[in-house]
Amino acid sequence: MGVHESGEMYLEAILVLTEKNGYVRSIDISEYLGYSKPSVSRAMGILRKGEYIVVDKDGGITLTGAGREIAEKIYARHTLLTKLLTHIGVSEETAASDACKLEHAISDESFEALKRYAANIL
């Protein structure tokens, strides 16, 4: 795929904000992630060059097919990992924070196994 963990975070944020608001700008991403505007701007340039996003003339950010695919994969991981952690007694806040870290590091093989396991308990 060629996207680093930080790129995955940005793509996931764009997906979540698009679903929530229908329209995403750099300022929205900055506020959502708590990152500085220059950091977000730099990341958007990298993601645009990689053809993961398109930025329109008004600053609206849209995921490309490749960007959406990565974002949905990371978001699915985040959601399932959060559910699993809360299921075993981890607080919602800690579960979401830990899921955010795990979602980038877990292998496809391990995640698929967790998904199969979760289907039987959740």
- CATH number for 5-69 (one of 3.40.50.300, 3.20.20.70, 1.10.10.10, 1.10.1740.110): it is 1.10.10.10
Write 96-104 long-range contacts (CB < 8 A, 24+).
Answer: 100/9, 102/77, 103/8, 103/74, 103/77, 103/78, 104/5, 104/8, 104/9, 104/74
Instruction: For domain 72-121, say whether CATH 1.10.60 is its number.
Output: yes
Alpha-carbon torsion (6, 108, 77, 49), positive or negative: positive
Q: Are strands 61-63 and 53-55 parallel, antiparallel or unpaired?
A: antiparallel
Per-residue pLDDT 10s for the chain (122 aa) are: 467 888 999 999 999 999 999 999 999 999 999 999 999 999 999 999 999 999 999 999 999 999 999 999 999 999 999 999 999 999 999 999 999 999 989 999 999 999 999 999 88
The pTM (predicted TM-score) of the whole model is 0.88
User: Structural domain boundaries of the chain?
Assistant: 5-69, 72-121
Q: Which residues on adjacent β-strands are paired with residue 54?
A: 62
